A and B are shown apart, each in its own frame.
Chain A
């Protein structure tokens, strides 16, 4: 079991190394894309700074909380894009019959599909998240922060796998997947406490946008054991559900006669 887990991470790392080599081959493109994403994040931070500067707090969320929110969201989305860059391309791969390539190889197909691409712009997100974390996270918060980031990454991936796997059942869920992921990113980029009632409940359960960033920020502000276990529990359920959905769906997959070239 331990050997399998080690192999799993080794596989991800090897693909990541290839991505870095590719990035260095096109370094101008890489640095411009990563740099622009970094700048994009700064612009959104300016929006928050203006808003907080004007109104002091937003439902008890101050500047530091907003910075933590941005650090978590940038790091988790950035890590997904850097290591599992194909996470938003699952529906398209299923629709276009591109799974044939992964199914024919000995590696586990879902992991292979996810790691087979790396987004250059995501490295800008990671850099931005690291800079913000270095400024606003204290040493004592680091273990909890890392755990929250791992949960956020798993939740984003699970949500993407779930939306993508719907393609197995509906034929195509490309637009649903795109809109769903954009919506997820949109909602998780704002403080969870601006929502209330049923909306907040939905964001902490079925559409876990609140668990990606809002709950981690609240945990870092003031640790709460119930919220902590809720985060771990929902993350585990989402991960298991998404994998089952994909594995069940793949039995319905029909290979096309489309010839794909991987470059």
Chain B
């Protein structure tokens, strides 16, 4: 465990050297938040609440969902590249697990990217629609749910990346996964806006536990929802973790290191 913490620290320090890149990349989220603030202001018109969301809750919800998803590390792309060019084989004789190494590396990216995106986006959102009130005691629970959300996203992404052992290019799979996060995951709008039949389906799929539920907890905390969300998040992390382990074990058996 300690070695993975060290890997995270090294990558975090490394990422700090490219702080400017992180800030520039988060600019797109600022543009998107500006658009959404305008869009939802028009939609709300004179309405105070739509489906349990005030305009402030709606925009902060979208910011949280955008921050979770856009701050993900390029884990699918990286693993796919390492599998394609054979670099993955060089990790086999290292004193660490390739999977945990990637997870440690991804956390270092996510922490910084999430912080910058949410901070800059938050400034824009605050200036456009104002703030929301949150009980400070709930923040720890929200952080737990966020941590599980990014972990679930990371495990699913790593699983997709590992499929590169069989499909030469996982770019298309990554593309589809992202679109599912955007829509059924509730990144573009909360599930309450969906037709009832669709929101019921989306609410049980893993995608909504990456974006919708943690963002909903952020704007409207409810302890029962928190318990239910975290339990299902842990369940999905377990399921995809096992699948990832099986896929990796099966694939790594076929890997050989020749020469140096």
- A, B from the same assembly: yes
Count: A-B pairs, CB below 8 Å = 61
Asked if A186 contacts B31 (CB within 8 A), the reply is: yes
A232 sits at the interface (CB 8 A): no
Mark interface residues in B2-46 (1 if CB within 8 Å of A CB, else 0).
Answer: 000000000000000000010011011001100100110111000
A147 at the binding interface (Cβ < 8 Å): no
Contacts of B38 in A (CB 8 A): 190, 194-195, 199
Interface locus among B109-117, B176-184, B229-237: B176-184
Asked if A53 meets B32 with Cβ closer than 8 Å, knowing A43-B183, A47-B183, A58-B39, the reply is: no
Task: Name A47's contact: one of B24, B43, B176, B188 (CB within 8 Å).
Answer: B188
Contacts of B28 in A (CB 8 A): 179, 182-183, 186
CA A128 to CA B100, docked complex, whole Å: 41
**Residues from chain A with Cβ under 8 Å of B21 in the complex:** 175
Inter-subunit contact B43/A55 (CB<8 Å): yes
- Are A39 and B179 in contact, with the CB atoms below 8 A? yes
Label chain B's interface by main secondary structure: helix
**If the complex has contacts A36-B176, A50-B195, A58-B42, are A183 and B183 also in contact, measured as CB distance less than 8 A?**
no
Minimum CB distance partner of B23 in chain A = A175
In the complex, what residues of A have CB within 8 A of residue B42's CB? 58-59, 193-194
Q: How far is the CA of A245 from the CA of B258 in the complex (A)?
A: 53
B133 in contact (CB, < 8 A): no
A132 at the interface (CB under 8 A from B): no
Q: Which residue of A lies closest to B32 (CB)?
A: A186
- Cβ contact within 8 Å between A43 and B179: yes
B96: Cβ under 8 A from any A Cβ: no
Interface residue tally of chain B, by bracket?
Answer: 20 to 34
Q: Which residues of B contact A175 (CB under 8 A)?
A: 21, 24
A36 touches B31 (CB 8 A): no
**In the bound complex, CA of A39 to CA of B180 (Å):** 11
Check B27 against A179 for contact (C-beta < 8 Å): yes
Contact with B along A34-78 (1 / 0, CB 8 A): 001001100100110011011100110000000000000000000
Q: Is B126 an interface residue (CB 8 A)?
A: no
Interface flag for A187 (CB, 8 Å):
yes
Q: Are B193 and A50 in contact (CB under 8 A)?
A: yes
B63 to chain A, nearest CB (A): 15
Closest to A55 in B: B43
Shortest CB-to-CB span from A210 to chain B, Å, is 12
Shortest CB-to-CB span from B177 to chain A, Å, is 12
Determine the distance from Cα of A176 to Cα of B23 in the docked complex, in whole angstroms: 12
Encode contact with B along A180-192: 1 for CB under 8 Å, 0 otherwise: 0011001100100
**A43, A53, A58, A187: which contacts B35 (Cβ < 8 A)?**
A187
Taking a contact as CB atoms closer than 8 A, the residue among A36, A46, A51 that contacts B175 in the complex is: A36
Q: Which residues of B contact A46 (CB under 8 A)?
A: 183
B194 at the interface (CB under 8 A from A): yes
Q: Are A40 and B175 in contact (CB under 8 A)?
A: yes
Q: Are A54 and B24 CB-contacts (below 8 A) given A39-B179, A46-B183, A190-B39? A: no
B192 nearest in chain A by CB position: A54
Tell me if A32 counts as interface (CB < 8 A to partner B): yes
Q: List, in ascending order, chain B residues with CB within 8 A of A32's CB.
A: 172
Is B120 among interface residues, defined by CB-CB distance under 8 A?
A: no
Residues from chain A with Cβ under 8 Å of B27 in the complex? 179, 183
Q: Which residues of B contact A186 (CB under 8 A)?
A: 28, 31-32, 35
**Can you spell out 28 A-B residue pairs with CB atoms less than 8 angstroms apart?**
A32-B172, A36-B172, A36-B175, A39-B176, A43-B179, A43-B182, A46-B183, A50-B193, A51-B43, A51-B193, A53-B195, A55-B43, A58-B39, A59-B42, A175-B21, A179-B27, A179-B28, A182-B28, A182-B31, A183-B27, A186-B31, A190-B35, A190-B38, A190-B39, A193-B42, A194-B35, A194-B41, A195-B38
11 additional A-B pairs beyond A43-B182, A50-B194, A187-B31, beta carbons within 8 Å, are A32-B172, A36-B172, A43-B179, A47-B182, A51-B43, A54-B193, A58-B43, A179-B27, A182-B28, A194-B39, A195-B38
